[in-house]
Structure 1
Amino acid sequence: MNALLASFLNILALAGLALGAFGMLLVGASSDPGRDGGRALMCLMLSLPLAAGLLLSYGLGVARDGFGWVAPGSRGLQWLLVLAAALSAGLVLAGSAALRLEPQSQVPWALWPLRGWAFAVWAPLLVAGAALALWPAWRAGLPAWAWRLPLAALGSISLLAAAGLLVQALQLGAERDAARIEQRLQDDAERDRWVMAEVERAEVERDLVGLMNQTSRFESPAIRARALAKVASHSDLNRALDEMLRGGWRDYALTYLESNDAPDNRALMPAVQQALLGLAEDWRDSMRRTHTLQPDAFDAQLRRALAVAEKFDALGGDHLAAMRALRAALDEPRPGYSPPVRLNAVATLDRWLQQRRARP
């Protein structure tokens, strides 16, 4: 029974390997370039039986001492070398078959010397090597070097090619990362040029609301400095901030106050309280009307609100009620909207309120 099962596994493993390997050989030998990546797609489809056949047949070969001549002092190293070489050989076989008709510029440099012919040599060698490892009787009449040397050469070349492909993949990844960073820097520089031009064109009495956005500590230093200089030249900045805090522009005023001081912060304390309560109503409306809320939906506004509340609490204010109103707004029912979202702002406010209660 055991012998029957072993024979069945041998045949199954070799059949899968033969299907994948000789399928790759036929694709590689074909002169049809294929359309829309047809050759690559066919090789991709054949890769599954090829990989399964390689792992099973060469794994069984190791288990049955067919590769006892590979790293004879270490069983673990033997498994590693044989299976790594087998999979690397499969990679070379698939790559050479898929890319044989491609221009050299489209072929990884590790496959340049192999792409025109490796599929025709690797396929029969892989199948023959597996068969000889699985059935000892088939190799009994052969000199050991006659089958070991070709397999050792195939495995060594395949491992080198696979290592080259890995190095090239890492190089390409690093180049893409560098290009992405360079593009981001260019985009940031272009954005800064555009924003600086907008700040320069702004008239402080007319465009104060727009300038407020550029006074944040998160803005680039040059833009922020120019925006602050223009804002400081306003004829009555405290009055303008008071009106913004009490009206629909409260978020812009909070942006300014998060990072900067008004000419008279104390005079703005009632307006700040009203702004935070108004922000709570804005949040209630968003909870009711916004179809899709992301976890960070209120994070930026909450950061500004907490910073301003702490700043004005230090002047003798008390914004605990406003913070509770903001927290209650996040519990506003959202009928018809699902699934429910776990807002970061909920945990942040709960933490802040708990710390506030713990204060003497």
Structure 2
Amino acid sequence: MTVDIQKSSLLITSLLVSALLVGCKGSPFTESLEAAEMEQPMVANVSVLKAEKKSVTLFDELQGRVVAFRTAEIRPQVSGIITERLFKQGEMTAKNQPLFQINKEPFLIDIKEKEASLAQSNVNLLLAKRKYTRLQALDKSSAVSKQAYEEAVFNQQKASANVMQNEATLEQSKLNLKYATIRAPISGIIEQALVTEGTLVNKGDSQALAIIKQIDKVYIDVRQPASKLSTLRKLLSKGEATNQKGLGVNIKLSDDSSEDIVGKIVFSGISVDLNTGDLIVRIVADNLKRTLLPGMYVRTEVPRRSLNAFLLPQQAIQRASNGEAFVSVVTASNDAIKRSVTLDGIQDHQYVVSSGLKNGDSVIIEGYENIMPDVELNASDWNPSAQAG
């Protein structure tokens, strides 16, 4: 009995609520709420970037090989026995630093011999001068024959020449003693010693005693198709016109751009490889940290073309079903339209757009996926730092 009464009460309550809702449906309050919901516009938030045309240089990424800025093969200028090695292998050496010592004793003895010969020739010159002075006085009074006087003149000149000759040979002997200490002709890193103490070396030997390479600056030789030579020359001539020494090249050590080294193109080769059709482009770069070592292969970005273009973040570029590139632009009437664009590569992780835009266009960078018909756009300036964060 109690259960039936509860069911009847619940049914009556439900009927009263339904009647109340039906009675309120056409009320002014309900109609105003529904109208407000229907009239509220849909908004799409987008981030835009003002297109700005600027001068852009496009690059070809090419592989290059590092070459030492200077290379010196150490060879003896005199013959003798190596008595001492005066450097540590693989260390930095300064110009004129002693590297090897050849036995000095033979050169010291030779100098003494040359000094004795010079002293003897000076004595002979003194005697010849005295004889010439005596005969010169007698010749004025015709007290000596013409032949005797001429012989005195000749002997004095001969003695003087002997002195000059002995002075020169003495200087050569002293120079040989100097050459007995073999010194570094350039500053750089010296590689392993190719001879040891006790080795007999001779002037003119084909084998080097050691090799020094200067790498605080290095060359990077890059092969480039000869077909691009004219373009490269135009870029080089443009650099000369603006008083730039060489043409800038980026040397990529890793994917981290902060480790890049900037070099300069100093010249392009004049001979084309018959097998590949390439020519050598030489780049010079500072290498104070000695990051680049001779023989290493590195990636380089060699200038290919200069043009006026727009740089856009990669996310701004969209693709149609046929692969055509386009961007979305916000118009003055706050509508979004599509613009087909021409891409000429990527620079600094941004697309190079050569045509399809004009200065001042508001290009949508983020939020274009929210754009729908009859949707109001809420455009704000794109903040790349916020995206990076």
- With the length of structure 2 as denominator, give the TM-score of the two structures: 0.22
Greater helix percent: which structure? Answer: 1
Bigger Rg, which one: 2
Q: Which structure ranks higher in relative contact order (CA pairs < 8 Å, sequence separation ≥ 6)? A: 2
- With the length of structure 1 as denominator, give the TM-score of the two structures: 0.23
